[in-house]
């Protein structure tokens, strides 16, 4: 019970925000000179997507790094009726997928610069620790990389 409560409290004070609008993300990335991490996910049906979120993207190691280096975008494609997104959000996600994920891969995670150039991609579950995942992103955050 204590662990559950601690997890809840930590979740309340999460340092990162996942955006749903890529245009908003590029604007923020341009202002802050951060990179954009886009995660294509099927949050209620894709097992590897759920694992990636829980084991990597929602860990303190990733969130601590992301809060100062990344603008985060989640393009979710849930299937269950109770989890359906608004029509506006669904359209934004579909437009983003047309450009960056036309083959419909899940999970599919991209590191993108403020101009829309893909710097790195992870096709499927990145079978590594959150620290190793961050190590793969870090060189791109260094000026001159």
pLDDT digits (tens, 9 = 90+) for 107-118: 999 999 999 999
Total domain count, the chain: 1
CB-based contact 66:138 (threshold 8 Å):
no
pLDDT in tens, 46-96: 999 999 999 999 999 999 999 999 999 999 999 999 999 999 999 999 999
Residue 4 lies in a domain: no
Q: What gap in Å lies between CA 37 and CA 28, rounded to an integer?
A: 12
CATH number at residue 87: 3.40.30.10
Q: Which of 13-17, 19-23, 39-43 has the lowest mean pLDDT?
A: 13-17
CA distances 11 to 5, 34, 53, 83, 88, Å, are 10, 23, 13, 20, 27
61 domain-assigned:
yes
């Amino acid at each position: 019970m204590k662990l559950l409560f601690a997890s809840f409290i930590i979740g309340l004070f999460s340092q990162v925000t996942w955006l749903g609008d890529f245009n908003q993300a590029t604007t923020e990335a341009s202002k802050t000179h951060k990179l954009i991490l886009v995660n294509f996910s099927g949050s209620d049906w894709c097992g590897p997507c759920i694992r990636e979120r829980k084991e990597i993207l929602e860990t303190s190691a990733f969130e601590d790094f992301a809060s100062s280096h990344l603008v985060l975008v989640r393009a979710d494609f849930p299937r269950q009726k109770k989890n359906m997104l608004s029509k506006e959000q669904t359209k934004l996600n579909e437009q983003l997928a047309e450009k960056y994920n036309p083959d419909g891969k899940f999970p599919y995670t991209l590191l993108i610069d403020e101009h829309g150039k893909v710097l790195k991609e992870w096709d499927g579950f990145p079978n590594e620790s959150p620290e190793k995942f961050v190590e793969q992103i870090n060189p791109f955050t260094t000026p001159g990389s």
